[in-house]
Amino acid sequence: MNKDVIHHLLLTMLIAAGCGSDFETFTAERERLACEIDEACGAEGLMCDEVSGYAKDDCVRYRPSKADECLEALEARLAEIEADAATCDPGWTWPDACSDADEWVSHRQGCNAVAGRPLQHEGQWVLAEVTRGRHWSRATAALAADRDTNRRHAAARWLELARAEHASVAAFSRASLELMTLGAPPHLLEGCHRAALDEIAHARLALDLARTLGDLDDEEAWDLGPLPAVPWRSVTLEQVAIDALLEGCLGEGAAAAAAQVATARATGRAVEVSETIAEDETRHAALAWATLRWALQRDRALAEPLADAFALALAERRARVRQTPTPEPDVAIHGLLDAAELARIELDVAERVVAPVLTRLLSRAHDDREPHAADPRGEALQPRIG
């Protein structure tokens, strides 16, 4: 897989897991330095020690290198004023690097949205039946002379993706309820609700493509029906953390990488759809890493079951890559990859993105861990994720 794809995912996930440059830490330090500059220039009543940062908005492009330049420029300005008060400029403005560090990108496709984690029950996806209607898509099949096997296969694949995206709405709704039960902070709940809204958009986009590609005689064919109800499950921090790791960090991380690869090969409307899904799935995976980070802060003893769960998932993905693939029609121009390539991408993301980020996150938990009754020896748990 393209190294740029892996690098982009790795950097994004390190930041989300709190193992890389932290946007919230940067904004807090920036505001504190600005406050101290104003204070050095004679402003009264300021409480610079109480300044806090803020969470990154989905529509902000964050550049850690510019953040470092920004803080260095502010520190130099503060030192200059403290050395000579006459240099104070009450009308000072932010250094250019500070504006570039968190640029607002209002034109970005899929802004303020997130994506892809089908609802599961007892290890199986819970999907809506395919019905007749025009609730989820009003697209109609375009008349074309090239309705060959590849095109029909692509239509069927996008239909299944639409069902999966539709089921992800419920998955994020359940995740939000479970996080609330555990007393999660509001930014995680907000992320889940944004994700659910985004999954609605994804289901519509995928079904639009399916209907456009399909050889449909009936204009009202292929709609999404009711989603089967699943029983409420008992909520534990461990289960929520493992779900975030396997379904979010790994599953959505791999989906983001696959969509990026698909975007480069697709044509027509499939390019826009795949590109949107790639961006949104990346933010979903970042949300999962933030959830995992929060869970480990709540209970560092989760390091061992998380490492065990990932070790099992990694073994399963390695076994899947070794399986002999069944030949499939070439549907790359329609924004789709075959099963063999998807398996390789999933393993690639597991080994080159999830494993290193998880290792760093669990190592922090081990380093900070205090002895407690469940571990009377006070020994650090070693992550078994290789």
The residue that leads in pLDDT, 302 or 103, is 302
Instruction: List, in order, residues 6 or more apart from 287 with CB less than 8 Å away.
Output: 16, 114, 188, 191, 192, 195, 248
Interval 113-140 mean pLDDT: 79
- The mean pLDDT value for 239-261 works out to 94
- The Cα–Cα gap between 323 and 309 comes to 22
Q: Is residue 15 part of a domain?
A: no
Across the range 166-181, mean pLDDT stands at 96
Q: 344: part of which helix (H) or strand (E)?
A: helix 339-349
Domain membership flag for residue 3: no
List residues bridging with 130 in a β-sheet: 224
CA angle 126, 131, 137 (to 5 degrees): 95
Look at residue 163 and tell me if it is in a domain.
yes
Q: What is the pTM of this model?
A: 0.70
pLDDT of residue 383: 41
Q: Which domain holds residue 250?
A: 120-368
Whether residue 293 sits in one domain with residue 158: yes
In the prediction, which pLDDT does 114 show?
30
pLDDT band (50, 70, 90) for residue 141:
low
pLDDT for 382:
40
- Please indicate, yes or no, whether residues 334 and 303 belong to a single structural domain of this protein: yes
Q: How confident is the model at residue 268 (pLDDT cuts 50, 70, 90)?
A: very high
Kindly state whether residue 259 falls inside one of the protein's structural domains.
yes
* 19 DSSP assignment: S
Same domain flag for 280 and 325? yes
pLDDT given for residue 174 in this prediction: 95
Asked whether the predicted pLDDT for residue 95 surpasses 90, the reply is: no
For residues 68 and 183, membership in a common domain is answered with no
What is the domain-level CATH number for residue 189? 1.20.1260
Any long-range contacts for 19-22 (C-beta under 8 Å, 24+ apart)?
19/357, 19/360, 19/361, 19/364, 20/64, 21/62, 21/64, 21/67, 21/68
Closest CA to 39 of 115, 90, 99, 110: 90
Q: Is residue 14 part of a domain?
A: no
CA distance 79 to 271: 50
**pLDDT at position 263:** 94
Please check whether residue 9 lies inside any domain of the structure: no
Same domain, 125 and 91: no
Residues 78 and 208 in one domain: no
Domain count, the chain: 2
Query: What average pLDDT does range 74-88 have in this prediction?
Result: 90
User: Does one domain contain both 39 and 95?
Assistant: yes
Using the predicted structure, report yes or no on whether residue 111 has a pLDDT greater than 50. no
The most confident of the ranges 94-108, 112-126, 170-184, 334-348 is 170-184
Q: Same domain for 98 and 124? A: no
Least confident of 98-107, 156-165, 185-194: 98-107
For 270-286, what is each residue's pLDDT tens digit?
Answer: 999 999 999 999 999 99
Q: Identify the H or E element spanning 298.
A: helix 269-298
Q: Identify whether residues 210 and 308 lie together within a single domain.
A: yes
Q: For 210-237, what is each residue's pLDDT tens digit?
A: 988 886 555 557 899 999 999 988 999 9
pLDDT computed for residue 207 by the predictor: 93
Q: What local confidence, expressed as pLDDT, does residue 107 receive?
A: 33
| Domain-embedded: residue 385 | no
Q: Position of tokens 């390539």?
A: 341
Residues 48 and 141 in one domain: no
What pLDDT band is residue 18 in, cutting at 50, 70 and 90? low
pLDDT recorded at residue 324: 66
Domain shared by 154 and 222, yes or no: yes
Question: Which CB contacts under 8 angstroms, 24+ apart, belong to 4-8?
Answer: 5/257, 5/260, 5/261, 6/257, 6/348, 6/349, 6/352, 6/353, 8/260, 8/282
Q: Is residue 8 part of a domain?
A: no
How confident is the model at residue 216, as a pLDDT? 58
* 89 plus 194 within the same structural domain: no
